Amino acid sequence: MSDRFDILGDESRQLLKKQNHPGWCGPMLATLTEDYFSNDDWIFERKLDGERVLVFREGNEVRLMTRNRKQINNTYPELVDALLAQACGDFVADGEVVAFDGKVTSFSRLQGRMQVRDPDTARRSGIAVTYYLFDLMHLDGHDTTALPLRERKRLLKRAIDFKAPLRFSAHRNADGESYHKEACERAWEGLIAKDANAPYVHSRSEKWLKFKCVREQEFVIGGFTDPKGSRAGFGALMLGYHEQGKLRYAGLVGTGYNNELLEDLGGRLKKLEQDEPPFSDPDLPGTGVHWVRPELVGQVGFTEWTGSGKLRHPRFLGLRRDKNPKDVVREST
């Protein structure tokens, strides 16, 4: 067994399983809650506003994968370089790629990299990215997912040489309530609370919980309205989420776009146009509207849900490529 495992006790070693390097393993997903708490058996990490990325390192090959199995090496070539430079040649880890606007992670700024497909263009973009790693699912021929989270994080910190642009996702023990208050005061997106004794599962779990400071989530784009005046591309996007197998209408978002995004996204939407609305609701806008196949997902910030189930004061933050439209559901109540 690898020397990297010598920090584990006998009980934890028995939880390790021999495993060939996996071609894929789905990410563990957090559940939204508004029940903030403190607990000695939980840890609390900063919720980063970026792109969830899994890294698979096997010998001289690195694969950066989104959570819906898209390889994105060309988008983040400097991360590939940093991961190939690691002495450890067999690991699978979980993390988040972010771009900073000052001291705050900015999904809007990261959009300038997420849409890039050429590695040379990515390097010249002027948008620096950082890869925060927070979990470890495979190491040196062994499946580590059955280990408690604290043990997985100890192994992760030992396996990776954390120098820029790689960072270890630090955490705070026990005191979730005061840390959440501090996170909101710092204008962070929130925290992720994690059961420190839980295994890593490849699904959504209540062992990981989202403590948000702002209301923000993904929505499916199901249509757009005509632009007015000198505006290019489109006027507003029609948003929705899935509920009991149907796409429910959540309202229009008309702010948060620059001219480049209006033109680029407008062109993509025109190629997706269809005659019938993808939404199941009867009360839909009827003039100046174009329906589209519900294939694109956008990140949207908002103040609250109205009593009729629509978004109040929504603002478009960017497109998501790491989210399957079928997985988009209403998170906030």
Q: Which residues are part of the catalytic machinery?
A: 47
What is the Cα–Cα distance from 286 to 284, expressed in whole angstroms?
A: 6
260 CB-side CA count, 13 A: 4
Residues near 97 by Cβ (< 8 Å), separated by ≥ 6? 50, 51, 53, 76, 79, 110, 129, 130, 131, 132
Is there a contact between 279 and 251 (Cβ–Cβ < 8 Å)?
no
Closest of 175, 209, 206 to residue 192, by C-alpha: 209
Q: Are strands 39-46 and 171-174 parallel, antiparallel or unpaired?
A: antiparallel
Q: Assign 77 to helix, strand or coil.
A: helix
Handedness of CA 208, 35, 243, 293 (dihedral sign): negative
Closest of 193, 202, 196, 203 to residue 47, by C-alpha: 193
